[in-house]
């Protein structure tokens, strides 16, 4: 009820597109200027509302990709061909366009750089977006929190933020990024090449008795599988935070 009451107090405001950054063939990041933005935490999201000329409105929620330290807000959006909102945001929006936004929203799926517990991040597809906000927050604060990201994508071309993740992990011995490509793998691929399973998670994750903090985000079935595997491996369910999205919408 408290979350509902808070949402009721949030008002819609205009966001102006300051930059459009292509991430993959189907994914773009929109960097927004929002007057009076109150700030956010890594892992929070916003609601976006579009209004057609005839008054029809469509609304979707998108995770914030930028860290709290950034003055501008970045949303990374995957285009769904049958979606109502994402095809406009990815493919039609240009610098200077404006749309309505409400947020930030959410207080459960957030991470603060002051937490020293080992940090395990598990992402499926565009579920990497709020986890990337956490990694960027960690980098901005120059935190030394031991961090591991297990990121599942269809192919190498579908990996969002690939170069940035490579750059961060190459420069930081406390940050390790593990990829699994579920459909196609390039020649000489050295990462995983299957859907996540117990053996893979056990190889990447810390033991449960290390008291790690885990964040899992992706499609519903992916999140349920990953969270169940972590519990099987001895993780405290209270220290596994999940966020999921369905296969429809956009």
pLDDT in tens, 65-117: 999 999 999 999 999 988 889 999 998 999 999 999 999 999 999 999 989 89
Q: Is the pLDDT of residue 207 over 90?
A: no
Are residues 89 and 77 in contact, defined by beta-carbon separation less than 8 angstroms? Answer: yes
Burial code (b: 16+ CB inside 10 Å, e: under 16) for 102-135 equals bbbbbeebbbebeeeebbbbbbbbbbbbbbbbbb
- Residue carrying the six token digits 């030394």: 144
Beta bridge partner(s), residue 245: 219
Q: Is the pLDDT of residue 3 over 50?
A: no
Count of CB atoms situated within 10 Å of the CB of 192: 21
pLDDT per residue as tens digits for the range 228-243: 999 999 999 999 999 9
Tell the residue number behind the tokens 């196609």, with chain if given: 184
Query: Residue 66 pairs with which residues in a beta bridge?
Result: none
Please tell me the class of the 2-105 domain. mainly beta
Res. 246: pLDDT tops 80? no
Instruction: Please classify residue 49 by burial: count the beta carbons closer than 10 Å to its beta carbon, then call 0-12 exposed, 13-18 middle and 19+ buried.
Output: middle
pLDDT at 7 over 80: no
**88, 73 in Cβ contact below 8 A?**
no
Q: Are 84 and 97 in contact (CB under 8 A)?
A: no
Find the farthest-apart pair of alpha carbons in the chain and give their distance in angstroms, rounded. 57
Q: Which stretch, 9-13, 78-82, 159-163, has highest mean pLDDT?
A: 159-163
Q: Where in the chain are the domains?
A: 2-105, 119-245
- Looking at residue 123, its pLDDT comes to 98
- More confident: 41 or 52: 41
Q: Are the C-beta atoms of 169 and 176 separated by less than 8 Å?
A: yes
Lowest-confidence pick of 201-210, 211-220, 222-231 = 201-210
Which residues, at least 6 apart from 146, have a Cβ–Cβ distance to it below 8 Å?
Answer: 118, 119, 174, 206
CA distances from 129 to 81, 190, 248 (A): 20, 24, 18
Q: What is the pLDDT of residue 214?
A: 97
Q: What is the pLDDT of residue 83?
A: 87
Burial class for 228, CB neighbours closer than 10 Å (0-12, 13-18, 19+): middle
Q: Which of 53-57, 65-69, 173-177 has the lowest mean pLDDT?
A: 53-57
Closest alpha carbon to 207 in 91, 118, 127: 118
User: What's the pTM?
Assistant: 0.93
Predicted confidence (pLDDT) at residue 2 exceeds the cutoff of 60: no
Contact 192, 178 (CB under 8 A): yes
Contact 119, 134 (CB under 8 A): yes
pLDDT at residue 211, as a whole number: 84
Lowest-confidence region among 9-13, 35-39, 45-49: 9-13
Peptide bond just before 104 cis, omega within 30 deg: yes
123-145: average pLDDT: 97
**Among 178, 199, 205, 174, CA closest to 189:** 178
**Fold held by 119-245:** Rossmann fold (3.40.50)
171: left (phi over 0), alpha (psi -120 to 50) or beta: alpha
């Amino acid at each position: 009820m408290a979350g509902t009451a808070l949402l009721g107090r949030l008002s819609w405001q205009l966001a102006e597109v300051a930059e459009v950054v292509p991430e993959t063939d189907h994914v773009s990041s929109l960097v927004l200027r929002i007057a009076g933005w109150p700030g956010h935490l890594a892992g929070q999201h916003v609601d976006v509302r579009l209004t057609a000329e005839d008054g029809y409105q469509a609304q979707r929620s998108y995770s914030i990709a930028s860290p709290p330290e950034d003055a501008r807000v970045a949303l990374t959006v995957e285009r769904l061909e049958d979606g109502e909102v994402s095809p406009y945001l990815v493919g039609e929006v240009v610098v200077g366009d404006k749309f309505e936004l409400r947020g930030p929203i959410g207080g459960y799926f957030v991470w603060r750089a002051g937490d020293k517990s080992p940090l395990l991040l598990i992402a499926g597809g565009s579920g990497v977006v709020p986890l990337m906000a956490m990694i960027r927050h960690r980098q901005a604060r120059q935190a030394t929190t031991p961090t591991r990201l297990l990121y599942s994508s269809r192919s190498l071309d579908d990996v969002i933020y690939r170069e940035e993740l490579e750059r961060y992990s190459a420069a930081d011995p406390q940050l390790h990024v593990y990829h699994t490509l579920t459909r196609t793998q390039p020649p000489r691929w050295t990462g995983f090449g299957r859907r996540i399973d117990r053996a893979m998670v056990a190889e990447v994750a810390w033991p449960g008795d290390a008291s790690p903090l885990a964040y899992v985000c992706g499609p519903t079935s992916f999140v349920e599988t990953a969270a169940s595997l972590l519990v099987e491996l001895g993780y405290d369910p209270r220290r596994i935070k999940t966020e999921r999205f369905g296969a429809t919408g956009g």
